[in-house]
Structure 1
């Protein structure tokens, strides 16, 4: 009896001595496994929360960016309309200034909502980023200045004053600055949206980290379960070599743990003073930790499933909004391309008009030169007529002198007749002695008669010359007056042609300026269309990324359901 008790004591001592290292090994294994499980669970929860937060932030930023880009597109379109009416105003079209101001009525509201936020077409617009606010404020001030200038010109029009080209010049420059600023602002908003693209890579990495953490968590659980099975098997093998009491205690412990193998974590091992007491205590501790872990896994799975469902809904809404935005950008891009084509046609017409104006200017200059040559020729004719008139006047004066000489000759002829008559009388009274003198007196009388007749003919010719001279002088004076009047009219025609030349030159410069501005606006419209195409590509990339994120979230939700199913067999 004493020897049996000693043998049992020895066996008990051996069993107790062997159980102590086993308990230490078991505690170390279970402690490390629990630590890994807790660490993996915490890492998984952190990754899931970070992924959800980043995704939610990205979705909000993408929605704000889409609203900013849409508002900036409206701003660019309104600026284009203002520029179109400004060009018509420079061509002196009626109601162009009123239409220009009406087209820009919505600009102050857009500037205000882009700067401070608000509602646009049922969508909430957040305040613009700080780096875009200075450009936005400068563009708003530019529009206010342009609006004041247009209002002043409209007031002058109502008072009956017609704006000159010099008055419309600042409006054209301010309109060009407004168009360029709106294009730059549109590019800044597009660049801000594009800069957010790396966030999607971060989200994908966080989701990947969450999946890795999930895999590590499942693996840690499998390792822990395998370690528990190996530990139980090792303890059974050691217990088989112990005392009958230890075997019974182990069998009792195994029976108690039968429900645990089926997943019932509500069972507890009986803690006794036997060799299995420490094992039962460790198993109870492990069961409690497993219960806590399973509850946490269930809770985390439910939260992940709920967050994934909410995120999927948000992703679907963002995807629909991105598709609508893509269609709107396509329509706006087509409209901008059509506008650019129209501007190219207008630019071609303006270039042709400028060439016609230059040809008209050359023709006007040639006409002015011809008129100047005509004026010079008429001045020379006037001088020649005046010189001829002077000579004719001198001829009239000479004819008057000839008339006076003819009158003197007539007087001499009469006196000669008287002398001849006296001589004839004297010859008759002298008788035969005066017969020769009588012949001389008759010859003198005949000579006096012929002289008188010639004098009458000369007097008639002189009168005719004087009459013709007076008529010629009058005609020359009338011709001189006609030449002077023609010179005045030619001078007036030259001045009119000079004015036409100046107006044609101004018209050519204005048309060339219109052509240049139209080409510049065509380039701006093409640049805006290219930017909208880039935004469309970015929107497409965002849509594809959103679809991929939605698929990743769906996979994450499926993994969460699978994880929940893997622990659903446990009873806690």
Structure 2
């Protein structure tokens, strides 16, 4: 044929069932003739008529139908299918090709009618091929007969790689009969998934003729049953694998649960099967919650145990203390009686103290008046002192003016001396006529000398007066400061006396309140005595109750010790 052939690595199964005599003839190179072939063929097969063959077909179909309800593995099902087809369909050679669902490739898995050497050769030459490539090559409309596909040798080698194994010799071909290069493929359709799950490759018909549509339909009946059986076997295999995986997961889960049963809460459930994962997750969550609860319970148990022991010790001390308290209450009763008598004495003394406080207020008021008068006198002294300071300052300023005047007189004296000196010099130059003027100049010099001496004395007196004035001024200023300080002290004394007056008045009020309180206390002391008697009675009841509580705590300590020993069975992760 001139049509393009698709590429494929699929190698169809070509199987021929030979007898031992045929093998010997092949080795010697002689082809068997028709008479010898008729001798080699099974006498039983030649003697079967159509009715017997039909009966056998029905029996085999029933047997294959029983396989649908049997829990068999795929290998066992393939053996049964191959045996039935080779017996009932009239083909001596059969190859079963199945689709690998994971790889989506088709590969031969079983052979019938081949020797061990031929099977090894086919296994070496045939490789798994993609499903879609194989189906594109085989399942063409021009090859279809019924639901099967017959590829005549007239179409040539339809496989690109020439992977066709010829088993029958070309000499065995008769025109119009089965050619060694003819191929018959029967698809295996899964009724569950409605897709091709495998192929039957048939070869070497017993009658040597091209199969009719009726014989192909017979093969298809077996193929349909085989497809159902293979589908069920795969389901069974998957179920077995699922069951084994589930059993392994359950076994592992059982081991973990046994450890958990022994109180080991550190364990975490492990899952090797997806269906167990929700259970494992729920168990792990429960273990986490239980671990948290048990951990909290252990902590609480330990705390309760410690507190129970502590309360037991405290109750023992409390019982002992209650007995002592009962004795102390008697002593308190006596003390309160003494206190009542003393409160009466306090009331009397508080009245006397109140009278004294009133007198102290009067004295304080008189002292406050004297202090006010002293403050006024100190103010007058302060004014007089400040007036003296101002007078001394004015005197100092006047002395400064006199000093300046003395300086002017001294300057005038110096000028007069210079004038007398100049006059003497001029008189000397004039000679005799200037002698009278020389006498005047001498008198002027003498007068200037006396004036200078007097000016010096006056300046010395004035400086002495200024110094003494300064000393007096400083003394007056210091006195003024002392007067100011004394005024402030007297003022502070007045303030203090006023505060003392206020405090004394408050003290008087407080003392009056104390008097009232003392009277009330005196009246309430009898009530206190009665209350102490009631406390004494209640203390006896408390002592009795404390002894009962001590017994209850002893029982509680026993229970907490037992609970703690039971909780110690659980082992938790360290946090």
TM-score by length of 2: 0.30
Higher RCO (C-alpha under 8 Å, 6+ residues apart)? 1
Q: Which structure is higher in strand share? A: 2
**Bigger Rg over Cα:** 2
